[in-house]
């Protein structure tokens, strides 16, 4: 599938409908940032909003996947073409699991159940990729920040300015990044630093200037009990980047960046529960996701 072509197609149809990105996002229950990523070809709409998107734009799923309008007489031809494209993408995967599940999805596609297919293939592909875990602090700038290597750099436009630019001179107590290519890239990172009194005060001042975006309610989050929140970037679709402190000398930097309203990364085994916001739930069956896609 040509994501760039599909993105331009979405943008063109949205403008024909005289809708802004914000208005389209509101109709679909997503953020305007999500619509922007679709139109830039950086991301594909989640299957849960695909039907509604097609209805608003006045197209069917085959036209969406093709990135252009299709004559009614050619619908069947393009159904077969789109199925062939998806099959080729599947067989290029490095590992093959859940074959019976995939066969069931194919049967659904043949029955024009493309929307169901897109949702299941997302889950399927997430399960076929291994989590990559990095704990070597010498690789910090390779995986965090604007100078990170390509696959770690574009974290769905979520800023990592809350994290220190460099940790070479810092007293780092713990560091971990978990990366997963689950159809759409996902990231979980945390960095624990103990500062001297002077450096702690300077860093708290820097983080306070960054500010705290609204986050209460996203993924069931109610706040922080064990630590004080210093800075927060949040997105109802993409997740969180934040810094918390014990109020003495320790600051903990955390990012949980994902999409489609749940994390494929098994975050509970990778990050201490104390570092998570109270009530945070990004498992596939989380109530926040159920409410959004209802």
State mean pLDDT over 240-267: 96
Q: Under a CB-based contact definition with an 8 Å cutoff, are residues 224 and 207 in contact?
A: no
Domains of the chain: total: 2
Q: Where are the alpha helices (DSSP H) in the chain?
A: 3-16, 21-28, 32-39, 47-57, 61-66, 75-91, 99-110, 114-127, 140-143, 150-153, 197-210, 267-270, 287-293
For residue 235, the enclosing domain spans 132-284
Last residue of a domain, one of 59, 94, 127: 127
Same domain as 234, residue 93: no
Last residue of a domain, one of 127, 148, 169: 127
Same domain as 167, residue 237: yes
Same domain as 278, residue 146: yes
Same domain as 141, residue 112: no
**Does residue 283 have a pLDDT over 70?**
yes
Same domain as 137, residue 109: no
Same domain as 214, residue 87: no
Please report which confidence band the pLDDT of residue 269 belongs to, taking 50, 70 and 90 as the band edges. very high
State mean pLDDT over 222-231: 96
Whether residue 292 lies inside any domain: the answer is: no
Same domain as 155, residue 61: no
Whether residue 294 lies inside any domain: the answer is: no
**Does residue 110 have a pLDDT over 90?**
no
Same domain as 27, residue 158: no
Same domain as 199, residue 266: yes
**Does residue 213 have a pLDDT over 70?**
yes
pTM: 0.61
Q: Number of helices (H) and strands (E), helices first, in the chain? A: 13, 6
State mean pLDDT over 174-197: 94
Same domain as 142, residue 115: no
Last residue of a domain, one of 96, 127, 158: 127
Q: For 170, which DSSP code?
A: S
State mean pLDDT over 41-54: 83
d(CA 140, CA 187): 14
Same domain as 31, residue 146: no
Tell me which long-range contacts 280-289 makes (C-beta under 8 A, separation of at least 24).
280/219, 280/220, 280/221, 281/219, 281/220, 282/219, 282/239, 282/256, 282/258, 284/123, 286/219, 286/220, 286/261, 286/262, 287/220, 288/217, 288/218, 288/219, 288/220, 288/261, 289/261, 289/262
Q: What pLDDT does 29 receive? A: 85
In the chain, % of residues over pLDDT 70: 79
Q: Kindly state the tokens that stand for 53.
A: 């998107």
Whether residue 196 lies inside any domain: the answer is: yes
157: left (phi over 0), alpha (psi -120 to 50) or beta: left
Q: Where residue 76 sits, what CATH number does that domain have?
A: 1.10.260.40
Question: Which of 190, 288, 189 is closest to 237 using CA atoms?
Answer: 288
Same domain as 195, residue 75: no
């Amino acid at each position: 599938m040509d994501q760039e072509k599909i993105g331009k197609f979405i943008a063109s149809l949205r403008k024909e409908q005289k809708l802004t990105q914000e208005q389209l996002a509101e109709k679909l229950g997503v953020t305007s940032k999500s619509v922007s990523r679709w139109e830039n070809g950086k991301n594909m709409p989640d299957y849960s909003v695909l039907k509604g998107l097609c209805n608003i734009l006045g197209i069917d799923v085959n036209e969406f996947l093709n990135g252009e309008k299709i004559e009614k007489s050619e619908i069947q031809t393009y159904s077969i073409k789109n199925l062939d494209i998806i099959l080729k993408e599947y067989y290029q995967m490095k590992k093959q699991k859940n074959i019976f599940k995939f066969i069931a999805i194919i049967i659904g596609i043949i029955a024009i159940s493309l929307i169901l297919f897109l949702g299941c293939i997302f889950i399927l592909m997430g399960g076929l990729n291994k989590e990559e875990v990095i704990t070597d602090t010498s690789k910090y700038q390779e995986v965090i920040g604007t100078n990170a290597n390509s696959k770690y750099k574009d974290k769905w436009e979520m800023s990592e300015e809350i994290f220190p630019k460099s940790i070479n001179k810092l007293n780092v107590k713990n560091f971990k990044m978990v990366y997963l290519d689950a159809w759409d890239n996902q990231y979980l990172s945390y960095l624990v630093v103990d500062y001297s009194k002077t450096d702690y005060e300077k860093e708290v001042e820097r983080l306070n200037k960054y500010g705290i975006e609204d986050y209460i309610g996203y993924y069931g989050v109610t706040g922080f009990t064990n630590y004080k929140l210093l800075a927060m970037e949040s997105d109802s679709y993409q997740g969180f980047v934040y810094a918390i402190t014990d109020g003495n000398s320790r600051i903990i930097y955390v990012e949980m960046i994902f999409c489609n309203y749940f994390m494929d990364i098994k975050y509970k085994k990778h990050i201490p529960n104390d570092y998570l916001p109270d009530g945070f739930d990004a498992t596939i069956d989380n109530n926040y996701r159920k409410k959004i896609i209802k």
